[in-house]
Amino acid sequence: MTTTPTTAPIAPATAAVIAEACRILGAGRLVAIPTETVYGLAADATNDHAVARIFEAKGRPHFNPLIVHYASTDSVRRDVEWDDAAARLAGRFWPGPLTFVLRRRADCRIALLASAGLDTLAVRVPDHAVARAVIESFGRPLAAPSANRSGEVSPTTAAHVWASMGRSVDLIIDGGPCRVGVESTVLDLSAAPPVILRPGGVPREAIEAIMGPVGEDDSGIDDRPRSPGRMLRHYATARPLRLEARDVRGDEALLAFGPEVPRGARSTLNLSPARDLVEAAANLFAMLRALDRPDHAAIAVMPIPDAGLGRAINDRLRRAAEP
């Protein structure tokens, strides 16, 4: 067995620590931050590579879309299609434990991987001075799921984060225990009528007092078994996908992986010539979208190793390939 350092990288939110957090985030790496709900595992939301590291660190077998955290309502409005309901709810509950799912704007800055390829984005302004200070100093929004490994409960102290994530996070900013202690309520405002996808810190009654009746469908909650009819919507291509392809036809597009690429495709994009699964995850949705064009009869996808992040990549490819 190899020995690993056992000192936790836990530090209080001094100016120097926030500067260090910004340096780590700017390098595409991960910092755990306190919010009023639970601790978040944060990465630069505009960097697909950094967002891919979140999925790698959590060890999730699939890509769930993530919540993107902002310091102000104005900055949220740069990335999503804002509407009247969002404005009223934000006026009442932001900053706070309520997340909106809204359509991405055409000029949305956020990594497609944070949306798991969908046309929608989950956004919130956390009610925590440390979280907002980090976002403000960094100058970009942060994608952050709860800072625990897949299948474990959400952390509400810095020590919980360390116990669950260990060295896979470079810095854990200690903001004390989380005031709310449960995750934010996730409200899908892109659906008509709006639907609560996950109950959380803001109760349904408080939302309904502002905007009238909302539906509830918590079948998309992460890490739970899902009934096929009521799953979280997932990204699908319009063109058929041909998985495990070892050759390619002249009317197909090729989504390649690794250094040895079959020739003859109409178009080819390579997820990672170096067989780096973090790079492949970062490129997955953008490359599928780029190849999903009417002049391609199908998209042939080369085999991806079914280990580590490769499992999440293969999960999404299999779902996208379903007719």
Cα-Cα-Cα-Cα dihedral sign, residues 293, 299, 305, 311: positive
Closest CA to 121 of 175, 81, 173: 81
Q: In this structure, what DSSP letter does residue 107 have? A: T
Per-residue contact string for residues 272-301; x = within reach of Mg ion by CB under 5 A? ------------------------------
Question: Which one, 146 or 314, has the nearer CB to ligand TXA?
Answer: 146
In whole angstroms, what is the distance from residue 317 CA to residue 53 CA?
A: 19
Q: Is 194:187 a contact under the CB 8 Å cutoff?
A: yes
Q: Quick check: 186 binds ligand TXA (CB under 6 A)? A: yes
Closest CA to 113 of 257, 273, 281: 281
Q: Which of residues 215-234 bind ligand TXA (CB under 6 A)?
A: 220-222, 232
Considering CB distances under 5 to 8 angstroms, the limit depending on partner class, which of ligand TXA, Mg ion, none binds residue 272?
A: none
Q: Quick check: 67 binds ligand TXA (CB under 6 A)? A: yes
Question: Which one, 9 or 145, has the nearer CB to ligand TXA?
Answer: 145
Instruction: State the minimum distance, in angstroms, from the CB of residue 55 to Mg ion.
Output: 12
Question: Which one, 137 or 150, has the nearer CB to Mg ion?
Answer: 150
Among 40, 95, 96, 117, which residue interacts with ligand TXA (rule: CB under 6 A)? 40
Which region among 21-29, 143-151, 247-255, 276-284 touches Mg ion (by CB under 5 A)? 143-151
Which region among 73-81, 139-147, 209-217, 273-281 touches ligand TXA (by CB under 6 A)? 139-147
Closest CA to 190 of 86, 64, 74: 86
In whole angstroms, what is the distance from residue 287 CA to residue 156 CA?
A: 37
Per-residue contact string for residues 94-133; x = within reach of ligand TXA by CB under 6 A? ---x-x-x-------------x--x-xxx-----------
Contacts of 198 (CB under 8 A, 6+ apart): 183, 184, 185, 186, 218, 220, 221
Q: Is 66:285 a contact under the CB 8 Å cutoff?
A: no
Give the rounded distance of the alpha carbon of 66 from its chain centre. Answer: 3
Q: Is 99:187 a contact under the CB 8 Å cutoff?
A: yes
Provide the pairing of β-strand 298-301 with 252-256: parallel
Q: Quick check: 146 binds Mg ion (CB under 5 A)? A: yes
Q: Quick check: 145 binds ligand TXA (CB under 6 A)? A: yes
Tell me the site size for ligand TXA, rule CB under 6 A. 29
The site for Mg ion (CB under 5 A) is made up of 146
The site for ligand TXA (CB under 6 A) is made up of 35, 37-38, 40, 64-67, 97, 99, 101, 115, 118, 120-122, 144-146, 183-184, 186, 188, 197-198, 220-222, 232
